């Protein structure tokens, strides 16, 4: 399998994994504490909780909760995609 080099960061990937990695640069969610890029808000929030625990409170204030069950998320669109299970 071919190896692909990511031009923005010089990382090397098998071609099957490159599109996932490159999505970080297409629509990045950037950590405001260390400038690292993530492919979506949920992964960014998990990063902040693990690497910047002093800022956890900023994430908890953004929780979206299902009104039918105990499901919670920090990403509004994830709650929207969860809701059909209750229909």
Q: Which two tokens stand for residue 34?
A: 């260390």
pLDDT category at 27 given cuts 50, 70, 90 is low
Q: Give the residue-averaged pLDDT of 42-53.
A: 87
Write out the E strands in 22-86.
Answer: 29-30, 37-38, 64-65, 72-73
| Predicted TM-score of the model (pTM) | 0.45
Asked if pLDDT for residue 5 goes beyond 90, the answer is no
The position carrying tokens 């692909």 is 4
Closest CA to 55 of 23, 32, 25: 32
Q: What pLDDT is stored for residue 51 in this prediction? A: 92
Q: What pLDDT is stored for residue 56 in this prediction? A: 77
Q: Give the residue-averaged pLDDT of 61-72.
A: 86
Stronger pLDDT, 83 or 59, i.e. the higher one: 83
Q: Which domains, and CATH codes, for the chain?
A: 28-86 (3.30.160)
Give me the torsion for CA of 52, 72, 30, 35, rounded to 10°: 0
């Amino acid at each position: 399998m071919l190896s692909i080099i990511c031009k923005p960061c010089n990382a090397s990937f098998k071609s099957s994994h490159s599109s996932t990695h490159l999505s970080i640069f297409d629509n990045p969610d950037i950590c405001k504490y260390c400038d690292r890029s993530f492919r979506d808000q949920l992964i960014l929030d998990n990063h902040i909780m693990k690497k910047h625990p002093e800022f956890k409170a900023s994430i908890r204030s953004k929780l979206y909760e299902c009104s039918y069950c105990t499901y919670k998320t920090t990403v509004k669109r994830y709650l929207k995609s969860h809701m059909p299970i209750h229909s």
